[in-house]
Amino acid sequence: MKAVLLGLVLILPATARGEISKSVRTYLLSTSRLIEDLEYERALEQINRAKKVAQGPDDDVALSLYEGIVLAELGRGKQDESNAAFKAALFLDPDATLPLQVSPKLKRRFEQVRKQVQRELTEKNKEEPPTSRVVPSTVAPSPQSPAQPLLAQPATEVSSRGVGLRSRALIPAISGGALVVAGGVSWALAHGQKSKLRDPDSPFRSREEVDEVASRGRTYQTLGVGMLAAGVVGLGVATGMYLLGAPGESMSLRLGTDGTSAFVSGRWP
Task: Say how far apart CA 153 and CA 135 lie, in whole Å.
Answer: 12
82 and 202 co-located in one domain: no
Of 149 and 240, the structure prediction assigns the larger pLDDT to 240
Contacts of 242 by beta carbon, 8 Å cutoff, 6+ apart = 165, 166, 169
Of 38 and 148, the structure prediction assigns the larger pLDDT to 38
User: CB–CB of 63/47 below 8 Å?
Assistant: yes
Task: Say how far apart CA 251 and CA 245 lie, in whole Å.
Answer: 9
143 and 227 co-located in one domain: yes
Q: What is the pLDDT of residues 46-105, one digit of tens each?
A: 999 999 999 999 999 999 999 999 999 998 788 999 999 999 999 999 999 999 999 999
User: CB–CB of 103/74 below 8 Å?
Assistant: no
Closest CA to 231 of 266, 252, 256: 256
pLDDT band at 141 (very low <50, low <70, confident <90, very high): very low
Model pTM? 0.44
122 and 187 co-located in one domain: no
Q: What is the pLDDT of residues 126-136, one digit of tens each?
A: 876 655 444 44
90 and 162 co-located in one domain: no
- Tally of structural domains, the chain: 2
Planar angle of CA 167, 183, 202, nearest 5 degrees: 165
Closest CA to 252 of 137, 132, 130, 160: 160
The residue among 127, 151, 186 that closes a domain is 127
34 and 72 co-located in one domain: yes
Residue ranges making up the domain that contains 190 = 134-267
Question: Which bin fits 162, alpha (ψ -120 to 50), beta or left (φ > 0)?
Answer: left
Output the pLDDT for position 77.
84
Q: Is residue 60 within a helix (H) or strand (E), and if so which, with residue range?
A: helix 57-74
Q: Is the pLDDT of residue 263 over 70?
A: no
Q: What is the pLDDT of residues 170-218, one digit of tens each?
A: 787 788 788 878 878 877 887 777 776 676 666 666 777 767 767 877 8
The three-state secondary structure class of 157 is strand
The residue among 127, 160, 187 that closes a domain is 127
Q: For all residues of the chain together, what is the average pLDDT?
A: 74
69 and 93 co-located in one domain: yes
Output the pLDDT for position 241.
72
